[in-house]
A = this chain, B = another copy of it.
Amino acid sequence: MYIPTLSDMFHAHQRIRPHIHRTPVLTSTFIDTLVGARLFFKCENLQKAGAFKARGASNAVFGLSDEQAAKGVATHSSGNHGTCLSYAAGRRGIPCTVVMPWTAPQAKKDAVRGYGGRVVECEPSTSSREAVFAEVVAETGAEFVHPYNDPRVIAGQATCSKEMIEQVDDLDAIIAPIGGGGMVSGTCLTLSNLLPKAKIYAAEPEQADDAYRSFKAGRIIADDAPNTVADGLKVPLKDLTWHFVKSNVSDILTASDPEIIDAMKLIWKRMKIVMEPSSAVPLATILKNKHLFAGKRVGVIVTGGNVDLDTLPWQ
C-alpha cells in the first residue's frame, strides 16, 4: 500500500491546476450567529463537473504516461467520481468507461456521456459489477481509477484543503463529509503536514455510519446496504482511507436524515448555493455539537452540487 505524501499533493496541484477551479470560500453571518462560530464554506459544488472529485480524477488522468493514457481509464461509480473521471479524460482526449448498474438514474448516465465517457451497464449487484468491470479492463487495457482508495485520487483531493488554508487564515478545524473517505484522507494529508494544530472532523449520516463505527471500534466495519438521503456517502472505508482516518481524524460526528435535509435547505436559503444532501452533513453535525466549535474558525468542505432539481428532499 503506497501512502501519498505532501510532495504528491504539491505535484498534484501543479498538474491539475489548468483543469480545475480554485473554488471560492463563502461565509454567512446568519449561520455564524446561529452556530456561534465562524464557518468558511469551501465551495466544491462550484468545482468543474460539480464536485471535488474533479481534483482526484484529474490528477490520476493527467499523471498517466502517454502509452497508458492511450488505452484510457475506467471506473465503477454511479456517483460524482464517474462523472468527474469522464470530465478529466475528456480534457485529456482519452477514452473513459464507467460501469454502473442499469438501475442508476438516467441523469448520472447522461452526465458521464455529456463529457464524452462511455457507460457500460451491469446488474445491480457487486458480483455483476465486478464481472463486467473485469471484462471492460480486459478488453480495453484501461487504467482503473478507484473512486477513493487510490493514492493519486487522495493526493488530488488533498489540494482542496491546501487552497482553503491559503484562502482563510488561522483555521482551528476543518470538517468534511465522509463516505469512502477520499476527501477526508486528502484533508488529513494536507493538514497534518501544513496546519497540524487544526482539528479534522468527519461528518456522516446516522443511517450510513460505518465510518463512525469503524472509528470507535478501531477496525473497518462495512455496512450492508445503508440507506440515506446523503447518497454520496454510502460506500465503506478501504485500507488507504482507513489509514488516514484512524491516524489523523479527531472525531466523527453523525446526523439524522431530517437534520441533514434541514441543514441543506438552510444553506440553499441563506447562502444561495445548490448543494447535494451529502454536502450538508457537516453543517448538520455542527448544529448538533455547537460546544465543539464555539468561537472557532472552521473550514467546511461543500463537496458537490449534483442534485436532481425535480425531486428535492424537502418537497
9 A-B contact pairs sorted by A residue (CB < 8 Å): A26-B46, A29-B48, A30-B114, A46-B271, A46-B272, A46-B273, A265-B309, A272-B305, A309-B312
Please indicate the chain B residues that have their CB under 8 angstroms from the CB of A272 in the complex.
Answer: 45-46, 50, 273-275, 305
- Tell which of B29, B48, B273, B312 touches A273, judged by Cβ atoms closer than 8 Å: B273
Q: Which of A29, A46, A310 has the most CB of B within 10 A?
A: A46
| A268: interface (CB < 8 Å) | yes
In Å, the complex CA distance between A273 and B272 comes to 6
**Does A36 belong to the interface (CB within 8 Å)?**
no
Most buried by B among A26, A48, A269: A269
CA distance A48 to B29 in the complex (A): 9
Chain A 38-56 interface mask (CB, 8 Å, partner B; 1/0): 0000000110101000000
- Chain A contributes a number of interface residues (CB within 8 A of B) equal to 23
CB contacts under 8 Å to B, within A256-276, are: 265, 268-269, 271-275
The oligomer's copy count stands at: 2
Q: A268 contacts which chain B residues (CB < 8 A)?
A: 274, 309
Whole-angstrom distance between the Cβ of A166 and the nearest chain B Cβ: 16
Question: Which of chain B's residues has its CB closest to A306's CB?
Answer: B272
Chain B: CB-nearest residue to A27: B21
A2 within 8 A of B: no
A308: shortest Cβ distance to chain B, in Å? 9
Name the CB-closest residue of B to A43: B272
Which B residues are CB-close (under 8 A) to A95?
Answer: none
Residue A63 is within 8 A (CB to CB) of chain B in the complex: no
> CA separation between A314 and B308, bound complex, in Å?
12
> Contact at A269–B309, with CB atoms within 8 Å?
yes
